[in-house]
Structure 1
Amino acid sequence: MTHAPILAFDIFGTVVDWHGSITREVAALYPQVDADAFALAWRAGYQPAMQRVRSGELGWTLIDDLHRLILDDLLPRFGLSALTETQKQHLNKVWHRLDPWPDTVAGLTRLKTRHTICSLSNGNIGLLTNMAKRAGLPWDCVLSAEVFRAYKPDPATYLGVARVFDVAPSDVMLVAAHQDDLAAARACGLRTAYIERPLEFGAKHPKDVSPDAANTFHAKSLVHLAEQLGC
């Protein structure tokens, strides 16, 4: 059996276009800034910040707060040291306002007809809920690393989905645009579906989206995945 009743979705880059969204907003607010470089630099701080939590250097810290730590380091580098606290808070919440990829809402809506669909993101619950409300993402359930107090690729996240729904790990399929995330999920017994997002890092930095035979499915979009799953 290749189908799984529970589909758990990575969010940043898979469901929403973080680079395009941040670039557009920064360009509108601060036209003097290289918005492409700013978005890439902010995202580049993501894994190192989470590693500080994984290593125990920081206690459990929400992604909103990690994003702010990274942002505070970035602002002087991009000539934005003069921002007020209100402006900093608003900019940090751009991660709540990320736009979905063009196929996302239609794909999720189709997949929801035959599967339970949930987020499985390192983003915190408030962020994911605000994002879903604004973008019209039709989740059955919002799951986050916050629920498990562990960041992907910790097995507690992937196995936590199976535990929440009281199913075997093989009854959960992770849907993601990142092969490392999918490999970690497979190591926990989950099925996996890779979604091609060649423009995740912007048009200037196209991403390799070559298939990995280890994945259960490989799709060009969430609509394409729905077609493969008969939805």
Structure 2
Amino acid sequence: MNAPGALVFDVFGTVVDWRSTVIAEGRMRGARLGLDVDWAAFADEWRAGYPLAMDEVRRGALPWTNLDGLHRRILDRLLAARGIVLDDAEAAEFNRVWHRLDPWPDTVEGLTRLKARFPVATLSNGNVRLLVDMARHAGLPWDAIFSAEMFGHYKPDPEVYLGACRLLDLLPSQVLMVAAHPSDLRAARAAGLMTAYVSRPLERGAGAAMAPWSDGEFDLVADDFVDLARRLGV
């Protein structure tokens, strides 16, 4: 493939380990508040609720709502289903766990190497403030933050991918989308972007099934971000 003019990255699961971070924070809060909760199941349900919440916006059942708002709606439902009552300040602070997710071990090194040659930016459904806070927490060296919030659409809507290309002043064929999720990459490819799959086998916990994909489906396949940098000659 041709050398990309810029790299854009999915964030949740690709750049950061959302599940382990949410579980750890849930256990910390549970110990402090005396809550008996299966925090691994809680984290999985919280994440699983987000595609359904986005669909509510797409169908018009909800007005445009950023990811913080969607996460809070899901959190409130999960707490109510377990009979847990938190005051608003406590619930709001728990909801901000998504702002302080920890990176995968290879993330910062790999991004730093890639940034030495290419512009690197987020392309995430996370809202701008969430992504800025996460970058500061995790030391993520982005050149730019691109969020679904900027385009009024969520991935995998094509407006998100094409909007990032437009802001980069590049053709879609000059932009490489990096993600650990085949569905995200397929949508980016349909919008004309190049694609790079990075394996994150622990995203949903040890032994969890990964979404299937086919050999040759994506332009690049890498074990992690350091391997991606090597494959791009950095």
2:123 aligned with 1:116, yes or no?
no
Tell me the alpha carbon deviations over residues 38-64 of structure 1, each in whole angstroms, 9 at most, x when there is no partner: 000000100000011111221111100
Amino acid at match of 2:99: H
Instruction: Give, in angstroms, the shift of residue 207 of structure 1.
Output: 2.4
Aligned to 1:30, what secondary structure does the other structure show? helix
What is the CA–CA distance in structure 1 between the aligned matches of 2:44 and 2:28, rounded to whole Å?
17
**Identity %, equivalent residues:** 53
Gaps of 5+ in 1: none
TM-score under structure 2 length normalisation: 0.95
Moved over 4 A (4+): 208-211
Match of 2:198 among 192, 195, 198: 195
Amino acid at match of 1:175: V
The answer to whether the 8 Å contact 1:125/1:143 transfers is yes
What is the CA–CA distance in structure 2 between the aligned matches of 1:61 and 1:131, rounded to whole Å?
19
The answer to whether the 8 Å contact 1:161/1:172 transfers is no
The answer to whether the 8 Å contact 1:106/1:223 transfers is yes
Match of 1:63 among 60, 67, 76: 67
2:26 aligned with 1:26, yes or no?
yes
Q: Provide the alpha-carbon RMSD of the alignment.
A: 1.2
Corresponding residue number in structure 1 for 2:101: 98
Instruction: Give, in angstroms, the shift of residue 77 of structure 1.
Output: 2.5
Amino acid at match of 1:73: R
2:8 aligned with 1:8, yes or no?
yes
The answer to whether the 8 Å contact 2:178/2:198 transfers is yes
Q: 1:69 to 1:212 in 2, by over 3 A?
A: farther
Gaps of 5+ in 2: none
TM-score under structure 1 length normalisation: 0.96
The answer to whether the 8 Å contact 1:200/1:206 transfers is no
Aligned pair count reads 230
Matches within 5 A, 1:163-174: 163-174=166-177
Amino acid at match of 1:224: D
The answer to whether the 8 Å contact 2:182/2:213 transfers is no
